[in-house]
Structure 1
Amino acid sequence: MSARPRPKVPRPKVIVTRRLPQPVETRMAELFDVELNLDDSPMSAAALADAAGRCDVLVPTVTDEIDAAVLAAGAAGGRLKLLANFGVGVDHIDLSAARAHRIATTNTPGVLTDDTADMVMALILSVPRRLGEGEKLVRSGEWLGWSPTGMLGHRITGKRLGIIGMGRIGRAVATRARAFGLTVHYHNRHRLPAEVESELEATWWQNLDAMLARVDFITLNCPHTPETHHLIDARRFALMQRHAYLINAARGEIVDENALCEALAAGRIAGAGLDVFEREPAVDPRLLELPGVVLLPHMGSATFEGRQAMGEKVIANIRVWADGHRPPDLVLEEWV
């Protein structure tokens, strides 16, 4: 849709909820009336509501719960018109409330594709080869040296990978997986064009349950939505092969973490590689004790280059909005 003419907002008041890369913060200070969070402490709900009530643009991150109360405070303040999210996922933002209050929402798509796909591939490699266990063994001082039967794992070449969500990241994972000799299968709301399937040598499964029963690795690369909440639950763990591995570098809430712990403990699946958790930063203590599990602190996008690019997208979205035009990365369907 074409944008409605809007007045420009010279040097808008911008509040950033967490520390961003220094070059990004410096550029923001040059362009906007910016308020930074220099100690990087997560803001409470009350602090977020206060910030929303006195700025033109709020720059939240995945750790901030931008709910209806926060957005109502922004609307009551009469200034908040843009949520320039520092991140791709927006499941922490109440988009319905943002739409109701006519607060535009942007994100930072595309810049984290390779970083996240690299992390997914790292987990695919590390879990069956027991790299986490091996590293802990060396650090413990209990390693007695090489043995013909020591630290045996499984190769990935020749195995089947099932990708749930074949967007930018899913396709990047598929490209990497083929280079390691994995056969690519995928489940997506919509089937990819034939030429893309051919390029990726990917097999589409319309029925997710059918795919889960046939692959050796499952990687989650879909967003967290009401439809994907606990997409992988106890019923679906029961469908998987006992030698299968689950990889999740998307959102923790896509997996029923209690069901995952039970499946791992019972040997219903062989292992898991997790970069995200259902109740971050809390991690179910059972995961800390179970073998065959690699745990990472939500670092899939944690590269200097990626975070810098995210900041540049945030700045671009704010500048275009402040000039009275449609931001390039608008999340809401309509222009507000």
Structure 2
Amino acid sequence: MKKKILITWPLPEAVMARARASYDVIAHGDDPRITIDEMLETAKSVDAILLTLNEKCRKDVIDRMPENIKCLSTFSIGFDHIDLEACKARGIRVGNAPHGVTVATAEIAMLLLLGSARRAGEGEAMIRQRNWPGWQPLQLVGQRLDGKKLGIYGFGKIGQALAKRARGFDMDIHYYDIYRQSPEKEKELGATYHMTLDSLLSVSQFFSINAPSTPETRYFFNKSVIEKLPHGAVVVNTARGDLVNDEDMIAALKSGRLGYAGLDVFAGEPKIHDGYYDLPNTFLFPHLGSAAIEARNQMGYEALDNIDAFFAGKDMPAKLA
């Protein structure tokens, strides 16, 4: 008899087909999205849950999880929506999908850099609002990327993939991470390491946030950090929205202390700070980082790999707890 799993959100058909080939699948639709209470009720009759970042499994939720659930696998690289310590206490194994997002998210970061530098959002809005008066010498003049210093905060897989792409635009790559890369890797990526975040900030004409959300990094991007960047710097964020203090970011964009912000993630999304909506010097996306079919397929396969391993009595390939 097939094991039964709950998939909390519709996933690409290739992923669903693989899941159905191996398991008895209960799949929830997206209209309306599954509630925590619905997830917990359905969990009583399944053996594992494949969830997404929309399902916030804090300690109170994990404490209410039925005893039969010993496997959670998340369709995401991030796992700040799951209380891992609570899962460990309950003997629940948890895995994520860490590899599929890399290229797609780096591409979105590159798009945000380009769109911010060349004021693409303003130009597109001008056309759609039927306000284009025709070509003018000083209309929406931005800046080139080549020769500019790009500071990357967080030099894991996505940060390195961004460096590779930005180097193709002849940007000067700088990075800070608690783990320094090998001299060979730095040479390959043309990347200069900084011993401190402050040092990186001081040279970053463009600054990309690629760090995970942790108690140490949460809301790190605040007024004091902004003041260490060159005047008029461009900031892009494809990591997590809660790394940014929105009030301080918006104030700096209004004053011109920051030149532009390209944002794919927001604290409290899908509700975002009202201050962003009317700022012309923002380039805003609705969390498109991994929204490429190749990435979403791989993420689904990785999440299923964790479940397969659990039922086979093996360690999950991407074990978190």
TM-score (norm 2): 0.97
The match for 2:212 is: 223
SS at match of 1:239: coil
| Contact 1:50–1:73, Cα closer than 8 Å, also in 2 | no
- Structure 2 partner of 1:277: 266
- The residue aligned with 1:38 is 29
Q: Deviations over 1:258-296 (max 9, x none)?
A: 111111112111010000001100121211111210000
Q: Does 1:298 align with 2:279?
A: no
Give the secondary structure class of the aligned counterpart of 1:83.
Answer: strand
Per-residue CA deviations over 1:129-161 (Å, capped at 9, x if unaligned) read 100000110111121111111111111111000
Q: Does 1:175 align with 2:177?
A: no
User: What residue in structure 1 maps to residue 246 of structure 2?
Assistant: 257
Q: Paired residue for 1:202?
A: 191
Structure 1 unaligned runs (5+)? 1-9
Deviation for aligned residue 1:215: 1.1
Shift of 1:225: 1.1
Give the distance between the partners of 1:308 and 1:12, measured in 2 at CA. Answer: 22
1:212 to 182, 191, 201: 201
Q: 1:180 to 1:38 in 2, by over 3 A?
A: same
Aligned-residue sequence identity (percent) comes to 36
Return the alpha-carbon distance in structure 2 between the equivalents of residues 101 and 230 of structure 1.
Answer: 30
TM-score normalised by L of structure 1: 0.92
Partner of 2:316: 327
1:302-317 equivalence runs, <5 A? 302-317=291-306
Question: 1:13 is matched with which residue?
Answer: 4
Q: Is the contact made by 1:54 and 1:80 (CA closer than 8 Å) also made in structure 2?
A: no
- Corresponding residue SS for 1:271: strand
Residues 52 and 73 of structure 1 are in contact (CA less than 8 Å); yes or no, is this contact kept in structure 2? no
Between the aligned partners of 2:152 and 2:248, the Cα distance in structure 1 is: 20
Matched, 1:245 2:251: no
Deviations 1:62-98 (A, max 9, x none): 1110111221222xx2211111111111010001101
Q: Which runs of 4+ in 1 moved over 3 A?
A: 51-54
Which residue of 2 is the match for residue 268 of structure 1? 257
Counterparts of 2:180 and 2:56 in 1: how far apart (Å)? 33
Q: Say which of 123, 129, 133 aligns to 1:134.
A: 123
In the alignment, the residues of structure 2 paired with residue 42 and residue 268 of structure 1 have an alpha-carbon distance, to the nearest angstrom, of: 40
Asked whether the equivalents of residues 251 and 278 of structure 1 are also in contact (C-alpha less than 8 Å), the reply is yes
* Cα-Cα RMSD: 1.3
* Equivalent residue letter for 1:140: Q
State the match for 1:99 in structure 2: 88
Which letter maps to 1:22? Answer: E
Equivalenced residues, count: 321
1:193-218 residue CA offsets vs partner (Å, 9 max, x unmatched): 11111111111112102211221011
Structure 2 residue ranges without an equivalent (≥5): none
What SS does the corresponding residue of 2:272 show, helix, strand or coil? coil
> Which of residues 52, 55, 66 is equivalent to 1:61?
52
